């Protein structure tokens, strides 16, 4: 436990020292570029906050391209200030391009921070939220639901329906057929036309199947 705390303390001390040195270097470059007073102290804070925002975006796993872009921009600003104060740049005669970069940094940092913080969530997050908000009882019911019945196998062609069976022939007594001939002859004599099946059935008083069977024998 003590060894773990010792390692943590060493890391914290190293982080504080590195942050203080980087902070001071950024302040010196901003001050040399014409940003005096509180403005020179605000530049290191702006750079470090953009680094933290970009790192948080990378850790969240969302929009990694944007996270890496702004992380590298903030890292270049911090690393460039640290290298510039190592004697490679005359801070008493700062070039015009450095003054332009320092003066334009607030707008760049504001744009990067806004894009990193207010970017819309991804479709994956919306899907995950919808699954998380689903009722656990509904999920259990879906898991316990029986599998749907399989579809019946399809055949190349369904068989044609069988034709309806013809009604059995009706037995007609010969005497009735003879009587029907007389009735038909009488009807032709009176009307001059052959008797039809409904009239024959009415004259004989027989059911329709028998009337049709008699009419078939009269033709």
Which two three-digit tokens encode residue 110? 């504001």
CA dihedral 7, 9, 10, 13 (to 10 degrees): 160
Can you give the pLDDT at residue 131?
45
Can you give the pLDDT at residue 127?
47
Mean pLDDT of the residues in the chain: 76
146-194 tens-digit pLDDT: 566 666 565 555 566 666 665 566 677 777 788 888 888 888 888 888 8
Which two three-digit tokens encode residue 185? 């002859």
Can you give the pLDDT at residue 18?
77
Mean pLDDT across the stretch 71-87? 84
Can you give the pLDDT at residue 123?
45
Q: Enter the pTM of the model.
A: 0.46
The closest alpha carbon to 74, from 56, 95, 91, 96, belongs to 56
Cβ(172)–Cβ(213) below 8 Å: yes
First to last CA, the chain: 121
In this predicted structure, the answer to whether residue 29 has a pLDDT above a threshold of 50 is yes
Which two three-digit tokens encode residue 183? 């009735």
Q: Could you give the CA distance from residue 23 to residue 27 in angstroms, rounded to a whole number?
A: 6
Which two three-digit tokens encode residue 86? 């190592």
Q: Where are the domains of the chain?
A: 2-120, 174-218
Q: Band of the pLDDT at 124, cuts 50, 70, 90?
A: very low
Scan for tokens 């390692």, then name that residue: 7
Half-sphere exposure at residue 11, Cβ-oriented, CA atoms within 13 angstroms? 6
Can you give the pLDDT at residue 89?
74
Among the ranges 14-28, 102-116, 126-140, 164-178, which has the highest mean pLDDT value? 102-116
């Amino acid at each position: 436990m003590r060894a773990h705390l010792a390692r943590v303390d060493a890391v914290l001390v190293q982080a504080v020292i590195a942050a203080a040195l980087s902070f001071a270097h950024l302040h010196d470059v901003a001050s040399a570029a014409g940003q005096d007073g509180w403005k020179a102290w605000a530049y290191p804070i702006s750079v470090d906050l953009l680094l933290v925002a970009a790192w948080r975006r990378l850790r969240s796993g969302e929009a990694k391209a944007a996270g890496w872009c702004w992380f590298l921009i903030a890292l270049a600003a911090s690393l460039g200030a640290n290298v510039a104060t190592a004697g490679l740049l005359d801070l008493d005669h700062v070039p015009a391009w450095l003054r332009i970069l320092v003066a334009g940094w607030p707008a760049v940092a504001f744009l990067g921070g806004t894009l990193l913080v207010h970017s819309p969530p991804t479709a994956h997050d919306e899907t995950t939220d919808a699954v998380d908000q689903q009722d656990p009882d509904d999920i259990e019911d879906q898991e316990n639901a029986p599998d749907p019945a399989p579809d019946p196998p399809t055949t190349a062609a369904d068989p044609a329906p069988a034709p309806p069976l013809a009604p059995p022939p009706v037995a007609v007594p010969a005497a009735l057929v003879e009587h029907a001939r007389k009735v038909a002859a009488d009807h032709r004599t009176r009307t001059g036309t052959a008797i039809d099946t409904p009239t024959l059935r009415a004259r004989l008083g027989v059911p329709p199947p028998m009337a049709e069977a008699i009419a078939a024998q009269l033709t």
